[in-house]
Amino acid sequence: MLPVGAGDKREIIHLMEKDSLATGHHFRIMGVSGEGISELENSFPRQFKYIPERNYFDYIYYRNDLAELTGKKYQTKRNHINRFRNKYKFEYLPITPDIVPLCIQLEDLWYKNNNISETDEDLYNERYSMIFTLKNMESLGVLGGAIFVDGEIVAFALGSPINHNTFDVHTEKANTKFDGIYSVINQLFAMHIPEQFIYVNREEDLGIEGLRKAKLSYHPAFLLEKNVAIKNG
């Protein structure tokens, strides 16, 4: 990834390239936005080529759109939510330390129901980082919310600020035996994100067809392009 922080990054990037070549890999930097391209070109003019990676574009939404779901384009979402509200007695609660173990139990259930193998490195790493995040929410500045039906946790979401106007949703997990639950946790979490945030970043779809369809169905304000920067030569 492109280094962040103040100061001259050229020395760090040289070290990254040295490490990459030492492990037998051609040097490349992943997840480079337009701003990152400008930064690289200022430090290393015409030394990289840039290839857009659609699977890693971030989906950026207006927070109000996700929270309010107004207009004809969100009719299907509202229908799902209304069916859930009519069928279940539920409550939404912020994630506090006493709720964290219940979130981990739900994550265990999701992991089991989806037959995830430890050989699936991406999802295994996601699980590890999610549990770490849940156990360290306060120190990481992470906010979370959970939905309970008759005292049983059925969904939770986690996120944190990226900057002064954009909030990032890191993850959502839900028990899909409750019809419409993902639509409900999506809306309720957006409603409880502090109002100072104009945008919500729901991250990438990783090229997963169903995930891409779901993210597009919420009508993003725009997609944030990400590129791989490959060193010439």
DSSP notation for 97-165: TTTHHHHHHHHHHHHHHTT--TT-HHHHHHHHHHHHHHHTHHHHT-EEEEEEETTEEEEEEEEEESSSS
pTM of this prediction? 0.88
Specify the pLDDT at position 125. 81
For the chain, what percent of residues have pLDDT higher than 90?
86
Across the range 90-119, mean pLDDT stands at 85
Q: Between 5 and 92, where is the model more confident?
A: 92
Q: 148-206, pLDDT tens digit by residue? A: 999 999 999 999 999 999 999 999 999 999 999 999 999 999 999 999 999 999 999 98
Is pLDDT above 80 for 121?
no
Mean pLDDT of the chain: 93
Strands 58-62 and 222-224: antiparallel
The helix/strand/coil state of 3 is coil
Specify the pLDDT at position 82. 96
DSSP run (H or E) holding 64:
helix 63-68
Distances from the Cα of 128 to the Cα of 82, 107, 122, 147, angstroms: 34, 11, 10, 22
Tell me how far apart the alpha carbons of residues 112 and 104 are, in angstroms, rounded to a whole number: 12
Across the range 16-34, mean pLDDT stands at 95
Tokens found for residue 92: 């939404």
Specify the pLDDT at position 127. 82
Specify the pLDDT at position 59. 98
Specify the pLDDT at position 113. 72
DSSP run (H or E) holding 77:
helix 75-87
What is the topology classification, in CATH, of domain 10-56+226-231? Answer: Aminopeptidase (3.40.630)
Least confident stretch, 4-13, 87-96, 158-167, 181-190: 4-13
The helix/strand/coil state of 193 is coil
Dihedral of the alpha carbons of 179, 185, 188, 193, in degrees to the nearest 10: -170
Confidence of residue 6 (pLDDT cuts 50, 70, 90): confident
Confidence of residue 31 (pLDDT cuts 50, 70, 90): very high
Owner of token pair 């549990």: 131
For the chain, what percent of residues have pLDDT higher than 70?
97
Is pLDDT above 70 for 117?
no
Q: 60-78, pLDDT tens digit by residue? A: 999 999 999 999 999 999 9
Is pLDDT above 90 for 233?
no
CATH for 58-203, among 3.40.50.300, 3.30.56.10, 3.40.630.30, 3.20.20.70? 3.40.630.30
- 219 phi/psi in degrees, rounded to 5: 55, 75
Tokens found for residue 195: 């109002």
Specify the pLDDT at position 74. 97
Start-end of CATH 3.40.630.30 domains in the chain? 10-56+226-231, 58-203
